[in-house]
């Protein structure tokens, strides 16, 4: 990795942070009322190596909701609990070219296109089992505690805000129920989905989660196995092809890293075998990706040749 020392990388992060802090493209998401309350100017970048070293700049301790960044991790848990065959019977692995909240299902099989659009994420939330709803919720939270290496919480206001306004997600769930793609516990599953989106994290958590995926599923800070190594490639390949919604193709082409964005303005990017990148800046572009976040990842990728197919 970067043997010239972290000093160089730290300097670059500070320089990037200072320069991009004046870029005000995009706007804070408002369709979930609670999201609209976030200070638009917040900005943090964190890098966590597979050796557990942390580099961060800006508002790295600011809490915000995980939103769609929760999706790949729930997909990973579904794989662990049910195996590939069962999970892939409920959700496909094709990029959509559609917006994150697309209501389209695959015409032949009625499956959602992939686990990272809302439809697919609701289908994978349905696969989080437990004796009862509280146990399902607890198991959900545990996933994220393994990846972040700390105690995390649901944000109640965010949860209720989304639950009260999530008519489109409710429609998607009912459509999938109609096709037998999800179980009868629709309301529970939707609550589980709204809850996973509400989980409070900071920018450092994003980078640790990314570093865990970069490190064969082992959290580099705690040493805990957050996901079985055999499923890391499932999660990373779905992030590579579908993580940035309808700009997934240009992201894969130009930046070339498995990544996942959320409407709260976070991005998790993974440099396999090296480090995880977390960026937080609430102004999002038309596709739902943090504008500064995309710019940070592009610059880091180009500067250090991080594209996974980089040949030299
Ligand atoms: N909770 C959000 C929703 O379902 C997640 C969307 C996102 O982060 N892109 O609309």
Shortest-distance Cα residue to atom 4 of ligand 1: 118
On whether the CB atoms of residues 190 and 199 are closer than 8 A, the answer is: no
Q: Using the mean position of ligand 1's atoms as its centre, give its distance from the Cα of residue 6 in Å.
A: 35
- Tell me if 124 is assigned to some domain: yes
In this structure, are 136 and 152 located in the same domain? Answer: yes
- Domain boundary at 145, 177, 198, which? 198
Mean pLDDT to the nearest integer, 147-164: 97
On whether the CB atoms of residues 294 and 285 are closer than 8 A, the answer is: yes
- State the binding site for substrate: 68, 118, 162, 169, 193, 245, 263
- For 232, the domain range is 6-63+202-304
Look at the alpha carbons of 23, 26, 32, 36 in this order and tell me if their dihedral is positive or negative. positive
List ligand 1's pocket residues with C-beta within 6 A: 67-68, 100-101, 118, 162, 169, 197, 262-263, 288
In this structure, are 99 and 183 located in the same domain? Answer: yes
The ipTM value here is 0.95
Strand partners, 201: 64
CA angle 75/80/86 to nearest 5° reads 75
- Tell me if 312 is assigned to some domain: no
- Domain boundary at 182, 198, 214, which? 198
Catalytic residue flag (residue 68): yes
Mean pLDDT to the nearest integer, 211-231: 98
Catalytic residue flag (residue 57): no
CA angle 142/99/121 to nearest 5° reads 25
CATH number of the domain where residue 232 is located: 3.40.710.10
Catalytic residue flag (residue 183): no
CA angle 69/20/283 to nearest 5° reads 45
Mean pLDDT to the nearest integer, 221-230: 98
Sequence-separated (6 or more) residues with CB below 8 Å from residue 248: 95, 241, 242
Q: What pLDDT is attached to residue 68?
A: 97
Q: What is the pTM (predicted TM-score) of this model?
A: 0.96
Q: What pLDDT is attached to residue 5?
A: 52
In this structure, are 193 and 214 located in the same domain? Answer: no
Q: What pLDDT is attached to residue 273?
A: 98
- Tell me if 294 is assigned to some domain: yes
Does residue 3 surpass a pLDDT of 50?
Answer: no
Give pLDDT tens digits for 85-94: 999 999 999 9
Give pLDDT tens digits for 237-280: 999 999 998 788 899 999 999 999 999 999 999 999 999 999 99
Shortest-distance Cα residue to atom 10 of ligand 1: 101
Give pLDDT tens digits for 179-197: 999 999 999 999 999 999 9
At residue 1 the predicted structure's pLDDT band, cuts being 50, 70 and 90, is very low
- Tell me if 180 is assigned to some domain: yes
Task: Give burial (CB, 10 Å; 0-12/13-18/19+) of 104.
Answer: middle
In this structure, are 26 and 135 located in the same domain? Answer: no
Shortest-distance Cα residue to atom 6 of ligand 1: 68
In this structure, are 76 and 191 located in the same domain? Answer: yes
Percent of the chain with pLDDT over 90: 89
Which region among 105-114, 170-179, 276-285, 297-306 has the lowest average model confidence (pLDDT)? 105-114
Task: Cite the DSSP H helix spans in the chain.
Answer: 6-20, 71-90, 118-126, 133-148, 156-165, 167-178, 186-198, 203-214, 232-242, 248-254, 291-304
């Amino acid at each position: 990795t970067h043997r010239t020392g972290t000093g160089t990388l730290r300097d670059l992060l500070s320089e990037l942070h200072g320069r991009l802090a004046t870029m005000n493209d995009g706007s804070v998401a408002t369709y979930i009322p609670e999201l609209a309350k976030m200070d638009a100017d917040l900005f943090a970048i964190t890098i966590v190596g597979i050796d557990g070293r942390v580099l961060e700049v800006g508002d790295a301790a600011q809490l915000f909701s995980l939103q769609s960044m929760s999706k790949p991790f729930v997909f990973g848990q579904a794989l662990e609990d049910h195996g590939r065959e069962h999970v892939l019977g409920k959700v496909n692995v094709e990029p959509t070219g559609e917006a994150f909240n697309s209501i389209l299902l695959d015409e032949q099989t009625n499956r959602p296109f992939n686990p990272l659009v809302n439809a697919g994420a609701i289908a994978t939330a349905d696969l989080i089992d437990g004796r009862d709803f509280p146990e399902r919720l607890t198991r959900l939270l545990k996933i994220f505690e393994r990846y972040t290496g700390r105690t995390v919480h649901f944000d109640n206001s965010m949860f209720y805000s989304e639950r009260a306004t999530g008519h489109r997600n409710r429609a998607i769930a009912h459509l999938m129920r109609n096709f037998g793609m999800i179980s009868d516990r629709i309301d529970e599953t939707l609550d589980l989905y709204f809850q996973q989106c509400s989980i409070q994290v900071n920018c450092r958590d994003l980078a640790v989660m990314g570093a865990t995926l970069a490190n064969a599923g082992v959290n580099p800070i705690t040493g805990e196995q957050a996901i079985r190594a055999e499923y890391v490639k499932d999660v990373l390949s779905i992030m590579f092809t579908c993580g940035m919604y309808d700009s997934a193709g240009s992201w894969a082409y130009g930046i070339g890293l498995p990544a996942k964005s959320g409407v709260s303005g976070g991005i998790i990017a993974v440099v396999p075998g090296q480090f995880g990148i977390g960026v937080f800046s609430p102004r999002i572009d038309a596709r739902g990706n943090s504008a500064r976040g995309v710019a940070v990842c592009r610059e880091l990728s180009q500067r250090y040749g991080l594209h996974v197919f980089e040949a030299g």
